Structure 1
Amino acid sequence: MHTVAVLALDDVIPSDLAMPIDAFARTRLPGERSGYRVRVCAAEEEVDAGGAFALRAPYDLGAFADADTVIVPGVHDPSAPVREDVLDALREAAEAGTRIASVCVGTFVLAQAGLLKGLRATTHWYAADQLAAAYPDIDVDPDVLYVDNGQILTSAGAAAGMDLCLHMIRRDYGSAVAADAARASVMPLEREGGQAQFIVNQPPANPCGQALEPLLAWLDENAARELTLDDIAAHAGLSSRTLLRRFREQTGTTPLQWLHRARVRRAQHLLETTAHPVERIAAQVGFGSPTAFRDRFKRVAGVSPQAYRRAFGARV
């Protein structure tokens, strides 16, 4: 039987801890046999679960030695230093070939242990920039639900941990067992899209002052118009070349990319609050064709307009 050790760190996020325990414990093989032996382990006698409750894990870090998989849930402060004995235990498990996976900001624990150097990884989108800044040797992808590097796996926030668990169950026992585990958790075996659809697409920060603020406001107000780079430059009273340079300096992107994102933000609002057909929304927000709209929307949001509406649309 496959043994899963779930690590309970001090200040652990309760849902991050409970989710993999539940997902693997519920997995059943043909004949109603258990697919996994789940062991909760900790480095301390008593673990504080973010002030919600305290728990005593039945196993210590020695459980890593017998585990086929180690799961590392996130903690409320991902930048907090992790005990050296925990990091050493994770490194030893990795050297022994144990599969190691993180849930949400548990990615930071794997990063502290040095297990993600040179690898692609993900975490909750709100912490992705923090992870990339702290660990520049990690290829941080904030848009996906999980990343499988073979031995080392990482997942995004909250429910994405379940997506990762189902993925590992499918790797271990095949699609039929994974599908049954998904049904038990009332989850689809495969969710459409990634984290991008959940990110609030606010305009990029302006780190160099407020010089472009009037232009940015004008772009948002006129996003539905057919605007070219020359049109935008003329409104700003600048040459196209100067506008491009200043725009990149102050926003990190181009005027047309900003315009496309403004259109997608408006489209997201319409998809959430109206029953307008996608073709009508494409015209309302300034795209020349529904095809161009669908392509740009999926590039920005990670899913199609229809999938976004199914996920976030109100009944109107």
Structure 2
Amino acid sequence: MRVVLVLTERCSGALTVSLVEAMIMANYCHHKAGGDSPLFEWTLASVDGQPVLPFNGLPLAADCALPEALSNSPIPATEQVWVVPSIIEAVSRPERIVQALTRLQPVVTLVQSHYQRGGVVASACTGAFLLAEAGLLTPYPALMHWRSEASFQQLFPGLRTDTRTALADYGRIVCATGGSQSAAQMVLHWVAKEHSEALALEVAKLMQVDRHPTAPVAYAATQADAPHNDDKVRLAQARLRERLHQSISIDGLAAELAISDRQLKRRFAQATGLSPLKYLQKERLKRACQLLENSRLTSARIAGEVGYQDESNFRRLFKRELGMTMEHYRRRFSPRISAAD
């Protein structure tokens, strides 16, 4: 399998290095299992073939220029995977993201050409912005680091996002979420696809990473609210957070705020992207996660603390929304459990 790692100024150098190291480990495991030839071969390519300076300040040398990888490779485009880089600006303001995408238009054009020739294109983390800019994600949900999702939705309102899946293979488009394990998970996926699940498991053991990673939504469960300028909605959010343990009427909340129920729902959705009820559910789950992380309260007690008298109903909601049980979440994220272990 030929992988072209696309390099740009201010890209994620850690992602590139992690991909290379994961492929080296995969080749090692394949060789130890009796493989005759490496599973992976790779090339590092920049637009002009010159070294680039990632945002971590550690230079990366390119093996060739991207146009060379596009036209001169002895390997057909249909057998090449191009991995587009993550961009640091994607965690910044939307106007800075637009500036970065404008600067990266030569890369976008070359990636489009590779795809049009039948090649496979992959992204990890905020590389999804480049795929969207290239017009390659129109039919597919985009995966990225949860912190960049709001900006992505603002810049590409017609595209869908997926915060519940760690990796998605759409055939000739592969998307992985962000974080330090995204490179490993991408390589493990290719090992399973090109060789076997058994070999992928052996590579995962060698790298000491989970073969099936935690759902990305779990990492974002306790994030703070996004800022906005609607004072009335901010007050409504505060009232909802104060009453998580109570039965709450949205009609009653609207009356307290001296606006109509319809007006509250409309303004709430404009400011937060959520309905008041969906926001209330999110905050109840957030509070439950905080209690699981920082207390030893039972699941039944936690359910009651966030307004659910029926523990089984809350357990089902928790697993559906976060992709794991309450016990799994506590084992995974509680510093108290980690210290005890």
TM over 0.5: yes
Q: Which residue is 2:207 aligned to?
A: 185
Counterparts in 2 of 1:88 and 1:265: CA distance versus 1, 3 Å = closer
Residues 1:266 and 1:239: Cα distance change in structure 2 (over 3 Å): same
Larger mean CA deviation between 237-246 and 51-60 belongs to 237-246
**Contact kept in structure 1, 2:232 and 2:257, CA below 8 Å:** no
- 1:243-262 to 2 correspondences below 5 Å: 243-245=264-266, 247-248=268-269, 251-262=272-283
Runs of 4+ with deviation above 6 angstroms: none
Indicate yes or no: 2:169 matched with 1:157: no
Q: Secondary structure at the match of 1:4?
A: strand
Give the CA deviation at 1:273. Answer: 0.7
Q: What residue is the counterpart of 2:52 in the other structure? A: 47
Identity of aligned residues (%): 25
* Count of aligned residue pairs for this structure pair: 313
1:73 paired with 2:85, answer yes
Residue 24 (1) aligns with residue 23 (2) = yes
Determine helix, strand or coil for the equivalent of 1:136: coil
1:227 aligns with 2:248: yes
* C-alpha contact 2:44 2:64 (8 A) present in aligned 1: yes
Tell me the equivalent position of 1:171.
193
Q: Are the structure 2 counterparts of residues 3 and 137 from structure 1 closer, same or farther at C-alpha, using a change threshold of 3 Å? A: same
More off after superposition, 147-156 vs 243-252: 243-252
Question: What residue is the counterpart of 2:4 in the other structure?
Answer: 5
Give TM-score, length-normalised by structure 2. Answer: 0.81
Is the partner of 2:154 in helix, strand or coil?
helix
Corresponding letter in the other structure for 2:89? D
Question: Structure 1 residue aligned with 2:145, among 114, 120, 124?
Answer: 124
**Residue 306 of structure 1 aligns with which residue?**
327
Question: Does 2:118 match 1:112?
Answer: no
CA shift at 1:26, angstroms? 1.4
Alpha-carbon distance between aligned partners in 1 of 2:118 and 2:319, rounded to the nearest angstrom: 37
Residues in 1 aligned to 2:277 and 2:108: alpha-carbon distance in whole angstroms: 45
1:63 is aligned, of 66, 69, 80, to 69
**Superposed CA offset, 1:102-150 (max 9, x none):** 1111122222322223322211122222222223343222343222211
Alignment partners' CA distance in 1, 2:284 and 2:19: 38
SS for the counterpart of 1:187 is coil
Question: 5+ residue gaps in structure 1?
Answer: none
Q: 1:68 to 1:290 in 2, by over 3 A?
A: same
Match of 1:90 among 87, 111, 135: 111
Normalised to the residue count of structure 1, the TM-score between the two structures is 0.87
Listed as ranges, the gaps of 5+ residues in structure 2 are: 91-96
Post-superposition Cα deviations, 1:53-106, rounded to whole Å, max 9, x if no partner, equal: 222222332234435222122122243135454333322221222221111111
Contact kept, 8 Å, 2:81 with 2:120, in 1: the verdict is yes
Taking only aligned residues, the RMSD between alpha carbons, in angstroms, comes to: 2.6
Query: Structure 1: how far apart are the matches of 2:63 and 2:267?
Result: 59
Q: Which one-letter code corresponds to 1:23 in the other structure?
A: A
By how many angstroms is 1:205 displaced?
Answer: 4.5
Partner SS state of residue 335, structure 2: coil
- Check 1:127–1:183 CA distance in 2 against 1; reply closer, same or farther (3 A cut): same
Residues 256 and 136 of structure 1: is their aligned pair in 2 closer, same or farther, counting only changes over 3 Å? closer
* AA in 1 matched with 2:11: V
- Distance in 2 (CA, whole Å) between partners of 1:84 and 1:248 is 34
